Amino acid sequence: MNIIVVGLNYRTAPLAIRERLAFIPSRTPEALAQLMERPAVRECLLLSTCNRVEIYAVTPQVEEGVDEIREFLAAFHGLGEEVVRPHLYTWCGAAAVRHLFRVAAGLDSMVIGEPQILGQVKAAYSQACRAKTNALIVNRLLHRAFSVAKRVRSETGIAGKAVSIPFAAVEMVRRIFGTLAGKSVLLIGSGKIGELAARHFLGHGVASIAVINRTLEKAQEVAERFHGTAFPFEELSRRLTAADIVLSCTAAPHYILRPLDVERILPHRQGRPLFLVDIAVPRDIDPQVGSIPQVYLYDVDDLQGIISSNMVSRRKEAEKGERIIEAEVARFQRWLADLDVVPTILALRRRVETVCEAEKEKALGALGEAAGRERAAVEAMAAAIAGKLLHYPIVALKSSRTRRMGNYYVDALRYLFDLTPDEGDAAGEKMNGEWDCQEGPAVGEE
Protein backbone atom coordinates (compact mmCIF):
# COMPACT_ATOMS: atom_id res chain seq x y z
CA MET A 1 0.00 0.00 0.00
CA ASN A 2 1.11 3.57 -0.70
CA ILE A 3 0.36 6.86 1.04
CA ILE A 4 -0.44 9.80 -1.24
CA VAL A 5 -1.57 13.38 -0.83
CA VAL A 6 -3.22 15.55 -3.47
CA GLY A 7 -3.93 19.15 -2.61
CA LEU A 8 -3.48 22.87 -3.03
CA ASN A 9 -2.57 25.67 -0.65
CA TYR A 10 -1.93 29.41 -0.40
CA ARG A 11 1.30 29.00 -2.39
CA THR A 12 -0.21 27.18 -5.37
CA ALA A 13 -3.69 28.70 -5.61
CA PRO A 14 -5.10 32.21 -5.12
CA LEU A 15 -8.01 32.75 -2.77
CA ALA A 16 -10.48 32.77 -5.70
CA ILE A 17 -9.52 29.13 -6.44
CA ARG A 18 -9.16 27.99 -2.82
CA GLU A 19 -12.67 29.09 -1.93
CA ARG A 20 -14.14 27.22 -4.92
CA LEU A 21 -12.46 24.00 -3.79
CA ALA A 22 -13.07 24.38 -0.05
CA PHE A 23 -15.25 21.79 1.71
CA ILE A 24 -17.84 23.16 4.10
CA PRO A 25 -18.15 20.97 7.24
CA SER A 26 -21.72 19.86 6.49
CA ARG A 27 -20.61 18.26 3.19
CA THR A 28 -17.45 16.58 4.46
CA PRO A 29 -19.14 13.22 5.27
CA GLU A 30 -20.58 13.14 1.75
CA ALA A 31 -17.17 13.93 0.26
CA LEU A 32 -15.45 11.19 2.28
CA ALA A 33 -18.10 8.67 1.24
CA GLN A 34 -17.61 9.54 -2.42
CA LEU A 35 -13.85 9.21 -2.09
CA MET A 36 -14.17 5.72 -0.65
CA GLU A 37 -16.25 4.72 -3.68
CA ARG A 38 -13.19 5.27 -5.87
CA PRO A 39 -11.60 1.86 -6.65
CA ALA A 40 -8.03 2.93 -5.88
CA VAL A 41 -8.82 4.58 -2.51
CA ARG A 42 -8.63 2.22 0.50
CA GLU A 43 -8.40 4.80 3.31
CA CYS A 44 -8.69 8.60 3.23
CA LEU A 45 -8.73 11.85 5.17
CA LEU A 46 -9.82 15.31 4.02
CA LEU A 47 -8.23 18.50 5.38
CA SER A 48 -9.88 21.79 4.39
CA THR A 49 -8.85 25.14 5.93
CA CYS A 50 -8.75 28.72 4.73
CA ASN A 51 -5.23 28.16 3.39
CA ARG A 52 -5.31 24.59 2.07
CA VAL A 53 -7.41 21.72 0.76
CA GLU A 54 -5.68 18.33 0.94
CA ILE A 55 -6.76 14.73 0.54
CA TYR A 56 -4.59 12.02 2.09
CA ALA A 57 -5.23 8.49 0.86
CA VAL A 58 -3.92 4.94 1.04
CA THR A 59 -3.85 3.26 -2.35
CA PRO A 60 -2.39 0.11 -3.95
CA GLN A 61 -1.60 2.06 -7.14
CA VAL A 62 -0.15 5.57 -6.92
CA GLU A 63 -1.01 6.80 -10.42
CA GLU A 64 -4.59 5.52 -10.29
CA GLY A 65 -5.08 6.94 -6.81
CA VAL A 66 -3.80 10.39 -7.78
CA ASP A 67 -5.91 10.47 -10.95
CA GLU A 68 -9.06 9.46 -9.08
CA ILE A 69 -8.58 12.14 -6.42
CA ARG A 70 -7.96 14.83 -9.04
CA GLU A 71 -11.13 13.77 -10.83
CA PHE A 72 -13.05 13.77 -7.54
CA LEU A 73 -11.95 17.29 -6.58
CA ALA A 74 -13.12 18.70 -9.89
CA ALA A 75 -16.37 16.71 -10.05
CA PHE A 76 -17.43 17.34 -6.44
CA HIS A 77 -17.19 21.09 -6.90
CA GLY A 78 -18.60 21.10 -10.42
CA LEU A 79 -15.38 22.34 -12.01
CA GLY A 80 -13.43 21.22 -15.05
CA GLU A 81 -10.16 19.40 -14.40
CA GLU A 82 -8.39 22.05 -16.48
CA VAL A 83 -9.38 24.59 -13.80
CA VAL A 84 -8.22 22.49 -10.87
CA ARG A 85 -5.13 20.61 -12.09
CA PRO A 86 -2.71 23.59 -12.51
CA HIS A 87 -3.01 24.39 -8.81
CA LEU A 88 -2.58 20.86 -7.43
CA TYR A 89 0.50 19.25 -5.96
CA THR A 90 0.95 15.54 -5.28
CA TRP A 91 3.26 13.69 -2.93
CA CYS A 92 3.63 9.96 -2.41
CA GLY A 93 5.49 7.65 -0.06
CA ALA A 94 7.97 9.29 2.31
CA ALA A 95 7.30 12.69 0.71
CA ALA A 96 3.59 12.43 1.59
CA VAL A 97 4.41 11.44 5.17
CA ARG A 98 6.87 14.33 5.44
CA HIS A 99 4.28 16.75 4.09
CA LEU A 100 1.66 15.75 6.68
CA PHE A 101 4.18 15.96 9.53
CA ARG A 102 5.20 19.46 8.37
CA VAL A 103 1.57 20.54 8.06
CA ALA A 104 0.64 19.26 11.53
CA ALA A 105 3.70 20.91 13.09
CA GLY A 106 2.88 24.26 11.48
CA LEU A 107 6.01 24.29 9.30
CA ASP A 108 4.00 24.45 6.07
CA SER A 109 1.60 27.17 7.25
CA MET A 110 1.43 30.74 6.02
CA VAL A 111 2.12 31.55 9.68
CA ILE A 112 5.06 29.30 10.55
CA GLY A 113 4.45 27.53 13.84
CA GLU A 114 0.85 28.67 14.29
CA PRO A 115 -0.97 26.26 16.63
CA GLN A 116 -4.44 26.18 15.07
CA ILE A 117 -3.51 23.85 12.21
CA LEU A 118 -2.88 20.92 14.58
CA GLY A 119 -6.43 21.25 15.86
CA GLN A 120 -7.68 21.27 12.30
CA VAL A 121 -5.73 18.10 11.45
CA LYS A 122 -7.23 16.47 14.56
CA ALA A 123 -10.69 17.58 13.48
CA ALA A 124 -10.10 16.10 10.00
CA TYR A 125 -9.07 12.82 11.62
CA SER A 126 -12.19 12.87 13.80
CA GLN A 127 -14.31 13.29 10.66
CA ALA A 128 -12.54 10.34 9.02
CA CYS A 129 -13.19 8.25 12.13
CA ARG A 130 -16.88 9.10 12.14
CA ALA A 131 -17.14 8.36 8.42
CA LYS A 132 -15.11 5.14 8.90
CA THR A 133 -12.67 6.05 6.13
CA ASN A 134 -9.72 5.37 8.43
CA ALA A 135 -8.01 2.05 9.03
CA LEU A 136 -4.62 0.73 10.06
CA ILE A 137 -2.35 3.03 8.04
CA VAL A 138 -4.28 6.30 8.41
CA ASN A 139 -4.63 5.67 12.15
CA ARG A 140 -0.92 5.11 12.63
CA LEU A 141 0.01 7.99 10.31
CA LEU A 142 -2.19 10.52 12.09
CA HIS A 143 -1.13 9.52 15.59
CA ARG A 144 2.50 9.85 14.53
CA ALA A 145 1.69 13.27 13.06
CA PHE A 146 0.18 14.41 16.38
CA SER A 147 3.24 13.15 18.25
CA VAL A 148 5.65 14.82 15.81
CA ALA A 149 3.82 18.14 16.07
CA LYS A 150 4.07 17.99 19.86
CA ARG A 151 7.81 17.26 19.66
CA VAL A 152 8.46 20.14 17.27
CA ARG A 153 6.58 22.62 19.47
CA SER A 154 8.18 21.43 22.71
CA GLU A 155 11.75 20.98 21.44
CA THR A 156 12.05 24.17 19.36
CA GLY A 157 11.14 27.83 19.79
CA ILE A 158 8.86 27.79 16.78
CA ALA A 159 5.88 29.05 18.79
CA GLY A 160 7.67 32.23 19.90
CA LYS A 161 6.49 35.74 18.98
CA ALA A 162 2.83 34.90 18.50
CA VAL A 163 1.64 35.29 14.94
CA SER A 164 -1.66 34.00 13.55
CA ILE A 165 -4.23 34.90 10.94
CA PRO A 166 -6.38 36.75 13.54
CA PHE A 167 -3.27 38.46 14.93
CA ALA A 168 -2.23 39.55 11.44
CA ALA A 169 -5.73 40.84 10.70
CA VAL A 170 -5.83 42.96 13.86
CA GLU A 171 -2.26 44.17 13.31
CA MET A 172 -3.10 45.27 9.77
CA VAL A 173 -6.08 47.26 11.04
CA ARG A 174 -3.95 48.80 13.79
CA ARG A 175 -1.41 49.98 11.24
CA ILE A 176 -4.18 51.56 9.18
CA PHE A 177 -5.69 53.45 12.12
CA GLY A 178 -2.52 54.09 14.08
CA THR A 179 -4.40 53.27 17.28
CA LEU A 180 -7.49 51.18 17.92
CA ALA A 181 -8.37 52.96 21.15
CA GLY A 182 -11.99 54.07 21.07
CA LYS A 183 -12.88 52.11 17.92
CA SER A 184 -15.99 49.95 17.63
CA VAL A 185 -15.57 46.44 16.21
CA LEU A 186 -18.13 44.11 14.67
CA LEU A 187 -17.31 40.39 14.54
CA ILE A 188 -19.41 38.33 12.12
CA GLY A 189 -19.13 34.68 13.12
CA SER A 190 -18.49 33.17 16.54
CA GLY A 191 -15.94 30.45 15.84
CA LYS A 192 -12.48 30.04 17.32
CA ILE A 193 -10.93 32.51 14.90
CA GLY A 194 -13.43 35.16 15.98
CA GLU A 195 -12.51 34.56 19.60
CA LEU A 196 -8.81 34.96 18.85
CA ALA A 197 -9.49 38.19 16.98
CA ALA A 198 -11.62 39.52 19.85
CA ARG A 199 -8.79 38.84 22.28
CA HIS A 200 -6.32 40.78 20.11
CA PHE A 201 -8.76 43.67 19.63
CA LEU A 202 -9.28 43.96 23.39
CA GLY A 203 -5.53 44.03 23.88
CA HIS A 204 -5.42 47.14 21.69
CA GLY A 205 -8.07 48.95 23.71
CA VAL A 206 -11.07 49.02 21.38
CA ALA A 207 -14.15 50.70 22.84
CA SER A 208 -16.66 47.97 22.04
CA ILE A 209 -17.07 44.59 20.39
CA ALA A 210 -20.35 43.48 18.83
CA VAL A 211 -20.80 39.83 17.83
CA ILE A 212 -23.28 38.64 15.21
CA ASN A 213 -24.01 35.02 14.39
CA ARG A 214 -26.90 33.14 12.82
CA THR A 215 -27.21 31.30 16.15
CA LEU A 216 -27.70 34.00 18.78
CA GLU A 217 -26.70 31.72 21.66
CA LYS A 218 -23.23 31.20 20.15
CA ALA A 219 -22.82 34.93 19.65
CA GLN A 220 -23.76 35.48 23.30
CA GLU A 221 -21.14 32.97 24.48
CA VAL A 222 -18.36 34.82 22.66
CA ALA A 223 -19.65 38.26 23.62
CA GLU A 224 -19.76 37.37 27.32
CA ARG A 225 -16.16 36.16 27.29
CA PHE A 226 -14.91 39.42 25.80
CA HIS A 227 -17.22 41.98 27.43
CA GLY A 228 -19.08 42.51 24.16
CA THR A 229 -22.68 42.55 23.00
CA ALA A 230 -24.41 39.85 20.97
CA PHE A 231 -26.92 40.54 18.21
CA PRO A 232 -29.07 38.34 15.97
CA PHE A 233 -28.13 38.14 12.30
CA GLU A 234 -31.12 40.30 11.39
CA GLU A 235 -29.31 43.23 13.05
CA LEU A 236 -26.43 43.10 10.56
CA SER A 237 -27.32 46.29 8.65
CA ARG A 238 -27.72 48.34 11.83
CA ARG A 239 -24.44 47.05 13.28
CA LEU A 240 -22.62 47.81 10.01
CA THR A 241 -23.82 51.39 10.31
CA ALA A 242 -22.30 51.73 13.79
CA ALA A 243 -19.00 49.84 13.39
CA ASP A 244 -15.60 51.29 12.52
CA ILE A 245 -14.09 47.87 11.78
CA VAL A 246 -15.79 44.68 10.62
CA LEU A 247 -14.06 41.29 10.77
CA SER A 248 -15.93 38.40 9.17
CA CYS A 249 -15.21 34.68 9.37
CA THR A 250 -18.19 32.37 9.08
CA ALA A 251 -18.64 28.93 7.54
CA ALA A 252 -21.28 30.19 5.11
CA PRO A 253 -21.07 28.59 1.64
CA HIS A 254 -22.09 31.89 -0.02
CA TYR A 255 -21.58 35.64 0.35
CA ILE A 256 -23.32 37.12 3.38
CA LEU A 257 -22.47 40.71 2.40
CA ARG A 258 -22.97 42.04 -1.13
CA PRO A 259 -22.48 45.52 -2.68
CA LEU A 260 -26.15 46.46 -2.32
CA ASP A 261 -26.08 45.61 1.41
CA VAL A 262 -23.18 48.01 1.96
CA GLU A 263 -24.48 50.77 -0.31
CA ARG A 264 -27.71 50.87 1.69
CA ILE A 265 -25.98 51.66 4.98
CA LEU A 266 -23.35 54.14 3.74
CA PRO A 267 -25.67 57.21 3.81
CA HIS A 268 -26.24 56.57 7.52
CA ARG A 269 -22.50 56.53 8.33
CA GLN A 270 -22.16 60.30 7.78
CA GLY A 271 -19.07 59.99 5.60
CA ARG A 272 -17.12 57.67 7.93
CA PRO A 273 -15.06 55.09 5.99
CA LEU A 274 -15.85 51.41 6.56
CA PHE A 275 -13.02 48.91 7.01
CA LEU A 276 -13.88 45.28 6.26
CA VAL A 277 -11.56 42.32 6.89
CA ASP A 278 -12.77 39.01 5.42
CA ILE A 279 -10.75 36.01 6.58
CA ALA A 280 -13.31 33.36 5.66
CA VAL A 281 -12.77 30.74 2.95
CA PRO A 282 -15.02 30.66 0.99
CA ARG A 283 -15.19 34.44 1.34
CA ASP A 284 -18.05 36.02 3.29
CA ILE A 285 -17.92 39.36 1.47
CA ASP A 286 -18.36 39.82 -2.27
CA PRO A 287 -15.03 41.22 -3.60
CA GLN A 288 -17.00 43.87 -5.52
CA VAL A 289 -17.72 45.53 -2.17
CA GLY A 290 -14.12 46.74 -2.19
CA SER A 291 -14.79 48.94 -5.23
CA ILE A 292 -17.36 51.07 -3.36
CA PRO A 293 -16.03 54.54 -2.38
CA GLN A 294 -15.22 54.93 1.32
CA VAL A 295 -15.17 51.14 1.75
CA TYR A 296 -11.85 49.31 2.27
CA LEU A 297 -11.94 45.51 1.94
CA TYR A 298 -9.09 43.13 2.82
CA ASP A 299 -8.90 39.31 2.66
CA VAL A 300 -6.51 36.60 3.87
CA ASP A 301 -4.14 37.04 0.93
CA ASP A 302 -3.62 40.68 1.97
CA LEU A 303 -2.16 39.54 5.30
CA GLN A 304 1.03 37.96 3.95
CA GLY A 305 3.14 41.10 4.33
CA ILE A 306 2.23 41.40 8.02
CA ILE A 307 2.98 37.75 8.59
CA SER A 308 6.33 37.74 6.78
CA SER A 309 7.74 40.53 8.94
CA ASN A 310 7.22 38.40 12.06
CA MET A 311 8.76 35.22 10.68
CA VAL A 312 12.54 35.75 10.87
CA SER A 313 13.14 34.19 14.28
CA ARG A 314 10.68 31.38 13.64
CA ARG A 315 12.45 30.31 10.45
CA LYS A 316 15.64 29.58 12.41
CA GLU A 317 13.69 27.41 14.83
CA ALA A 318 11.90 25.76 11.91
CA GLU A 319 15.23 24.29 10.79
CA LYS A 320 15.39 22.36 14.06
CA GLY A 321 11.85 21.18 13.47
CA GLU A 322 12.76 19.92 10.00
CA ARG A 323 15.48 17.70 11.49
CA ILE A 324 13.00 16.21 13.95
CA ILE A 325 10.59 15.53 11.11
CA GLU A 326 13.22 13.79 8.95
CA ALA A 327 13.99 11.37 11.78
CA GLU A 328 10.28 10.71 12.34
CA VAL A 329 9.64 10.14 8.62
CA ALA A 330 12.39 7.50 8.55
CA ARG A 331 10.88 5.87 11.63
CA PHE A 332 7.42 5.74 10.06
CA GLN A 333 8.77 4.36 6.79
CA ARG A 334 10.46 1.52 8.67
CA TRP A 335 7.12 0.65 10.26
CA LEU A 336 5.40 0.81 6.88
CA ALA A 337 8.04 -1.44 5.31
CA ASP A 338 7.54 -3.97 8.11
CA LEU A 339 3.79 -3.79 7.54
CA ASP A 340 4.24 -4.71 3.89
CA VAL A 341 6.11 -7.91 4.74
CA VAL A 342 4.01 -9.12 7.69
CA PRO A 343 1.44 -11.05 5.58
CA THR A 344 4.23 -12.76 3.62
CA ILE A 345 6.12 -13.69 6.80
CA LEU A 346 2.99 -15.24 8.30
CA ALA A 347 2.17 -17.08 5.05
CA LEU A 348 5.72 -18.43 4.85
CA ARG A 349 5.56 -19.52 8.47
CA ARG A 350 2.28 -21.35 7.85
CA ARG A 351 3.70 -23.08 4.73
CA VAL A 352 6.87 -24.28 6.50
CA GLU A 353 5.00 -25.38 9.61
CA THR A 354 2.45 -27.27 7.50
CA VAL A 355 5.22 -29.17 5.69
CA CYS A 356 7.04 -29.92 8.94
CA GLU A 357 3.83 -31.07 10.61
CA ALA A 358 3.07 -33.44 7.72
CA GLU A 359 6.59 -34.92 7.73
CA LYS A 360 6.55 -35.22 11.51
CA GLU A 361 3.35 -37.25 11.37
CA LYS A 362 4.92 -39.56 8.77
CA ALA A 363 7.97 -40.07 10.99
CA LEU A 364 5.87 -40.72 14.07
CA GLY A 365 3.76 -43.20 12.11
CA ALA A 366 6.90 -45.09 11.10
CA LEU A 367 8.01 -45.28 14.74
CA GLY A 368 4.81 -47.05 15.64
CA GLU A 369 4.48 -47.50 19.38
CA ALA A 370 7.73 -45.67 20.08
CA ALA A 371 8.53 -44.42 23.54
CA GLY A 372 7.25 -41.03 24.55
CA ARG A 373 10.78 -39.64 24.75
CA GLU A 374 11.46 -40.58 21.13
CA ARG A 375 8.20 -39.02 19.98
CA ALA A 376 9.06 -35.84 21.88
CA ALA A 377 12.47 -35.76 20.21
CA VAL A 378 10.90 -36.00 16.75
CA GLU A 379 8.44 -33.20 17.55
CA ALA A 380 11.24 -30.99 18.90
CA MET A 381 13.38 -31.67 15.83
CA ALA A 382 10.50 -30.72 13.49
CA ALA A 383 9.94 -27.46 15.36
CA ALA A 384 13.67 -26.68 15.32
CA ILE A 385 13.95 -27.30 11.58
CA ALA A 386 10.97 -25.01 10.94
CA GLY A 387 12.51 -22.29 13.09
CA LYS A 388 15.92 -22.48 11.44
CA LEU A 389 14.46 -22.52 7.93
CA LEU A 390 12.37 -19.44 8.72
CA HIS A 391 15.04 -17.45 10.53
CA TYR A 392 17.12 -16.10 7.65
CA PRO A 393 14.27 -15.23 5.24
CA ILE A 394 12.42 -13.39 8.02
CA VAL A 395 15.56 -11.49 9.07
CA ALA A 396 16.18 -10.50 5.44
CA LEU A 397 12.62 -9.26 5.03
CA LYS A 398 12.63 -7.23 8.23
CA SER A 399 16.08 -5.73 7.74
CA SER A 400 15.75 -4.73 4.07
CA ARG A 401 17.03 -1.15 3.86
CA THR A 402 14.36 0.11 1.46
CA ARG A 403 10.75 -0.67 0.62
CA ARG A 404 11.87 -1.49 -2.94
CA MET A 405 14.28 -4.19 -1.70
CA GLY A 406 11.65 -5.45 0.74
CA ASN A 407 9.15 -5.75 -2.10
CA TYR A 408 11.72 -7.68 -4.13
CA TYR A 409 12.18 -10.21 -1.32
CA VAL A 410 8.41 -10.46 -0.83
CA ASP A 411 7.81 -11.17 -4.52
CA ALA A 412 10.61 -13.75 -4.61
CA LEU A 413 9.33 -15.64 -1.57
CA ARG A 414 5.74 -15.60 -2.81
CA TYR A 415 6.86 -17.05 -6.15
CA LEU A 416 9.30 -19.65 -4.80
CA PHE A 417 7.00 -20.97 -2.07
CA ASP A 418 3.70 -20.42 -3.92
CA LEU A 419 2.40 -18.22 -1.10
CA THR A 420 -0.99 -16.53 -0.99
CA PRO A 421 -0.72 -14.11 1.95
CA ASP A 422 -3.80 -13.00 3.85
CA GLU A 423 -3.59 -9.18 3.74
CA GLY A 424 -5.69 -9.07 6.91
CA ASP A 425 -2.71 -10.51 8.80
CA ALA A 426 -1.12 -7.06 8.96
CA ALA A 427 -4.10 -5.60 10.79
CA GLY A 428 -3.78 -8.34 13.37
CA GLU A 429 -0.30 -7.12 14.27
CA LYS A 430 -1.38 -3.92 16.07
CA MET A 431 -0.47 -3.77 19.74
CA ASN A 432 -1.74 -1.95 22.83
CA GLY A 433 -4.47 -0.15 20.89
CA GLU A 434 -1.88 2.28 19.50
CA TRP A 435 -3.66 2.54 16.17
CA ASP A 436 -7.19 2.72 17.48
CA CYS A 437 -9.10 5.81 16.46
CA GLN A 438 -9.00 8.58 19.03
CA GLU A 439 -10.81 11.68 17.94
CA GLY A 440 -9.21 15.08 18.47
CA PRO A 441 -10.99 18.37 19.09
CA ALA A 442 -11.30 21.09 16.50
CA VAL A 443 -9.16 24.07 17.43
CA GLY A 444 -9.31 27.29 15.48
CA GLU A 445 -8.36 28.03 11.92
CA GLU A 446 -5.14 27.89 9.94
Question: Could you give the residue numbers annotated as active site?
Answer: 50
Q: Which long-range contacts (CB under 8 A, 24 or more apart) does 257-262 make?
A: 257/188, 257/284, 257/285, 257/286, 257/289, 258/286, 258/288, 258/289, 259/286, 259/288, 259/289, 259/291, 259/292, 261/236, 261/237, 262/289, 262/292, 262/295
Contact 94, 39 (CB under 8 A): no
Report in angstroms the alpha-carbon separations of 408 from 23, 339, 343, 397, 415: 40, 15, 15, 9, 11
CA 173 to the chain's CA centroid = 30
Helices 312-367 & 94-105, crossing angle to 10 degrees?
A: 130
User: Residue 221, exposed/middle/buried by CB under 10 A (0-12, 13-18, 19+)?
Assistant: middle
Cα separation of 175 and 162, whole Å? Answer: 17
**Cis preceding linkage at 267, omega within 30:** no
**Angle value at C-alpha 212, between 208 and 217, nearest 5 degrees:** 110
Number of neighbouring beta carbons within 10 Å of residue 158: 25
